[in-house]
Amino acid sequence: MKKNIANSLLIVCCLLVMASCKARKQVLVARKADSTAKPNDVASKLAAIRASQVNFTTFAGKAKSKLSINNNSNDVTLNIRIAKDKMIWVSITAVLGIEAARAVITPDSILVINRLQSVYIKKPFSYIYTYASKQVNYKTLESLLIGNAVPELVNEQANIDHAEGNTTLSGTLNDLVYKLILGPDNKVTQTNLDNQSQSQSLQVTNNAFIQATNRILPSQIDIASVVKDKKIQVNLHYTKADFEVQQNYPFSIPEGYEPGK
């Protein structure tokens, strides 16, 4: 169990499956339809989608979460801090608030401390391709954490469809088949990534949009992922979210820890 809890953090990081935020007061907001672009004006619609995404410099969030790998589930708490374009810091705590693992993700690397086994893991960011397509990058992870549209999916080559007030962008990026569903306000409600040649698929669903620090974003996220013979599900329920606050990102490998696999 200890190994499963700590290793879950590394797998979650590599799957890009931590997303969404929730305001302190848990107040749902009424989402208004975007009226800045005509449905058939592709350039204007793409510009409106980009303009509707959350802009930020720093983010801090706390979430009650359930991690399930091949039906082996653990209830944990995730603390997430982001310095945009620079660093994502994550701490995972289990029973009684004891920290099980800590991770720092940068555009170049992934570092994880497993406190339950006194080991640490150092990987290049490319390690993420064990679980995700090579079209995935650091900005993809930041986008999913905040509930934003993955930038590469909002492009002029995408097929754009409109139905019942929603907009769907779909297409392919090399070997990655994608579908992005946005509501009338251009907020992302679902992201689908599929790489059939690598037997990888990921569905990220955003729900219950709220306001946090004058920004509208999802408060809940459900993730379903298949990576070859692994089935992973993550359910996040955020209890706290803040933008533009000063924060630190403490991370050091304790003396005596050994490198893990």
- The pLDDT tens digits for 28-57 are 454 555 545 455 578 899 999 999 999 999
Q: Percent helix, strand and coil across the chain, each rounded to 5?
A: 20, 45, 35
pLDDT of residue 24: 34
Q: How far is CA 98 from the centre of its chain?
A: 24
- Residue-wise pLDDT for 205-216, tens only, equals 999 888 888 998
Domain boundaries, the chain: 37-243
Residue 105's CB is within 10 A of a number of other CB atoms, namely 23
pTM recorded for the entire structure: 0.82
Average pLDDT of the segment spanning 147-169: 92
pLDDT band, residue 141 (cuts 50/70/90): confident
Q: What is the mean pLDDT of residues 219-236?
A: 82
Q: Which fold has domain 37-243?
A: outer membrane lipoprotein receptor (LolB), chain A (2.50.20)
Distance between CA atoms of 9 and 127, rounded to whole angstroms?
14
What's the count of helices (H) and strands (E) in the chain, helices before strands?
A: 3, 14
Of residues 243, 229, 210, the one with CA closest to residue 25: 210
Per-residue pLDDT, averaged over 236-248, amounts to 89
